[in-house]
Structure 1
Amino acid sequence: MASQLPLGLKLGFTAWVLIWAPSYWVLLGPDNFLWLCDLASLLLWLGLLIESRRLVSMQLLAVTLVGALWTLDVAVAALIGMHPIGGTEYMFDSASPALVRGLSLFHLWLPVVAGYAVWRLGYDHRAIYWQTGLTWLVIPLSYWLTAPEHNINWVQGPFGQSQTSLEPCWYLVALMLAWPLVLYLPIHLLMLAIMRWRSHHRGA
């Protein structure tokens, strides 16, 4: 079967991963790859290479709203010096390596790549179940295996801040429920609507 994704996209993304992943490993450590957005880069890379509808659909859910919120926070902070959401303060911290800040710009274009791949391959409506399952695996691992001060996937508190309002176990449960409901479900519903519209117009 003929490839549905351009070879140039696969080669370009592979080159990006070969630069980004070793740099993050050295500068930030291996536990940083438990961030769902960082994990999404690796899974999207695999999805592009093997043209997996499921994998690219999962990562579209993982990165679209996260990327939009990250971009909004950085843009507002750059314009007025205030972070409306939080979590991107490192982008303006001179103590953070410039290479890390530069490579973090992948939050801007990762949703575009995922969206293009889904447009070409189609959307897997089961992706929300798979991505939710992955999230429910990664969030507890982030809590158990990483340093609390890193607050990976906000397991210590939302918006990059520690929380003390809830017991840690109840906060984790709330986080695991909120992540798919707030970040994945809206994109899932949007993609179902787009695919229905696309199928209707193809059949017209």
Structure 2
Amino acid sequence: MSLFDRLFKGITKSDNQPSNKGKGSSRGKYYPEENSPIDEKFTYNFNRNGGKFLYCENMAEVSESFDNILLENDWYENDVFCIDETLKSKFTGYNLNFIKKTKATFFLTRCESLVCNNGSILLSSRQIKEKKLDELPSNIVVFATTSQFTENISEGLRIIKNTCDNFIPSNITTIQDFETGKEKDFMSYGSSTKNLYLLLLEDL
């Protein structure tokens, strides 16, 4: 399956499906229904934010997709900022130089959750220590699983609290702006735009 196919795998609506025009609704024909599954809402919102979404059914597909990302961007033999030792072991064999300094070609990381109502990626100090978003490389590859979908940020924060034995990490943030080169509006002023790939592994 090509990168393009995987990018739009989560969009299930057909071009031939009737739109809501004439019914008093401004919702686009690809906009998920209000009661849609959260994975469909995340896919729509994430793509709308400019993220690159790659759905993988197993680790073999994850490895293939990761290899394609490196090939597409010519990132072989480059420095990679990564503080997750488990991720380093998962993605060995690509002639990458894993470092713990942010001055790198891209950042390889996990996340806390995938927030469906706005298509953002929730991170904490468990992934980025005390770094601010603008200190991270402009290119990011996130490895996540389908069990990490949350409806909203509040739900994501509850999960962090539960998994950290009621201890809240000091640094919690979200990335939502993935479309580089676009003109900023007042809603996105001050945000840090990232070129972000999401490797999403099916684990449910």
Q: What TM bracket, shorter-length normalisation?
A: under 0.3
Question: If each structure's strand is expressed as a fraction of its own residues, which one has the higher value?
Answer: 2
Output the TM-score relative to the length of structure 2.
0.24
Output the TM-score relative to the length of structure 1.
0.24
Question: If each structure's helix is expressed as a fraction of its own residues, which one has the higher value?
Answer: 1
